[in-house]
Structure 1
């Protein structure tokens, strides 16, 4: 059975051409790759998981103080069984928190990127939460450099398009499943909305990606590896050269279903005003332009949030 490869990003500096070729091949095939050698410290990852678990352990009414009604879950807390995968009849078995980019409140994007909320009940939540946000943002920038080179774009093509990106760090808690034969899954089959997603700590079973052959391929990581996958916005910008692949989080078929599962994806988004038109480098006679109607990343995000019942 094929496997999603794990590549060491330090090779970008020591063996660039081969690394870019292997990374590009992985994304063309799977839309997914595991990245090791990234230098994000175990202490930062473990500290972040610790504060997130302590938040989710708080009483429900305490957590609901941080739920912004009408905010589409953009910041703060979203309770259990709200988000619903597109075309799914059942909401996902999860609750989550959103941390966004800290921007000056007089920024052009302040109206669409609200300030963060920080739970007063959990010391160091901001320190570890925003620390991990920044580390994954920087790693995502490095991955995008290699992805740009693979499709003949300049190395820094994405940087002025993501430096004010409406990116989100999403700590997720999937509570223990105690009922038999629940129709819901922890996260229904879906594609991500953004440019790329970086998932730190995907060591627990459950994450599966749909291969081109129509089979579900489980992904678990080893060591420090972080799962990085393509989202719909980058699929559109690259005219489907980089596919946004369907994935899901299934309920474990064993006693692990009775245990909570935590994961922390970072959704790297472009700046809200970036127009998601396919780039000329990805339009060929074999791959004609697939999109004719321009749309900004913010308009696209709003459209998709409605589909998954967050707004």
Structure 2
């Protein structure tokens, strides 16, 4: 069993893409509109930010935007040890951002969001009628104008060998949001838990685009599309001295969007944040 990259330009790409999401909660795309040189440029620019002490000038605010240092990094639900990472939360248009990174970050977010709208259209097109009946409005419309969509710039620092026992770069978790769009990182390590309860490596060749279902889309589809457990494992000793940069765009519906009889997007988010101790 493996995740096979779907050719974004192929005539049957929408169907293959949705079938992969249904099976794994994940899908991988090749030949998509994001250009490799754009990804390289933004990786390099944000790596320089994390290498600089000026990152502390952008420490996160009460609105959870800005820089989160390793000592306040997330602890995944059900785990006791913090992840080995630092990150920056960029909310557009109201979030803080270093001036030299604004233009490339906004451009990346806008292009990725546009791709996400197309992918949500594919998901809706290939949702069975009884599943689509649960959608209170078109899926792509649910994210339109949302100021809750979050671009997280993740930096997994090189390992020193002195890490807390059992700590890994990102412990097993599911995403809270609607849909996550993620260019393949500059280092491997992402794994997804299959239906057979086995960890499967997600293809990480540079230039691929990885998409996974979040809890909110699982809720909106009545469980038809699974929000699958995934993690980022530590690198082997031969490459543990290398950083890993990752750029997940966490798509969130507008707060008032009705996901199900139980939840709006806002009530669902608050429930999950409470579970995480926020």
Q: TM-score, normalised by structure 1?
A: 0.81
The 1-side partners of 2:195 and 2:210 are apart by 19
Give the gaps of 5 or more residues in structure 2: none
Q: Aligned match of 1:101 in 84, 92, 99?
A: 92
Compared CA separation, residues 25 and 201, structure 1 to 2 (3 A): closer
Paired with 1:36 and 1:98, the residues of 2 have a C-alpha distance of 27
Q: 2:45 aligns with which of 31, 45, 51?
A: 51
For 2:206 and 2:240, how far apart are their aligned partners in 1?
23
**Counterparts of 1:258 and 1:51, CA distance in 2:** 19
1:307 to 2:275 alignment? yes
Q: Is the 8 A contact 2:89 2:152 kept in 1?
A: yes
User: What corresponds to 1:251 in structure 2?
Assistant: 234
Kept after mapping to 1: 8 A contact 2:30/2:208: yes
1:44–1:131 CA contact under 8 A, matched in 2: no
- 1:124-203 → structure 2 map (5 Å cutoff): 125-151=101-127, 152=129, 153=132, 157-165=138-146, 166-180=148-162, 182-203=165-186
- Counterpart-to-counterpart distance in 1, 2:78 and 2:226: 20
Query: How much does 1:65 deviate?
Result: 2.2
1:171 alignment partner, SS class: strand
* Contact map agreement 2:118 2:140 (CA 8 A) in 1: no
Q: Which runs of 5+ in 1 are unaligned?
A: 103-114, 278-291
> What's the CA shift for 1:299?
2.1
State the 1:241 CA deviation. Answer: 0.8
8 Å Cα contact 2:77-2:173 kept in structure 1: yes
Q: What aligned pairs does 1:283-298 form with structure 2 within 5 A after superposition?
A: 292=261, 294-298=262-266
TM-aligned CA deviation for residue 22 of structure 1: 1.9
Q: 1:222 to 1:205 in 2, by over 3 A?
A: closer
The answer on whether the counterparts of 1:202 and 1:263 sit within 8 Å (CA) in structure 2 is yes
The equivalences for 1:28-107 within 5 A come to 28-59=22-53, 62-71=54-63, 73=64, 75-81=65-71, 82-102=73-93
Contact kept in structure 2, 1:99 and 1:130, CA below 8 Å: no
SS in 2 for 1:5: coil
Confirm or deny that 1:117 pairs with 2:96: yes
1:218 corresponds to 2:201 = yes
CA distance in 2, matches of 1:186, 1:29: 25
Higher gyration radius (CA)? 1
Query: How many residues are paired up?
Result: 270
- Cα separation, 2, equivalents of 1:274 and 1:172: 28
8 Å CA contact 2:193–2:200 kept in 1: the answer is: yes
Q: What RMSD in Å do the two structures reach over aligned CA positions?
A: 2.0
Residue by residue over 1:124-183, the C-alpha shift from the partner in whole angstroms, topping out at 9 and shown as x without a partner, is: x01111111111101111111110011144998123211122111111111111125632
Separation in structure 2 between the aligned mates of residue 305 and residue 57 of structure 1, nearest angstrom = 30
Residues 34 and 221, structure 1, Cα contact 8 Å, conserved in 2: no
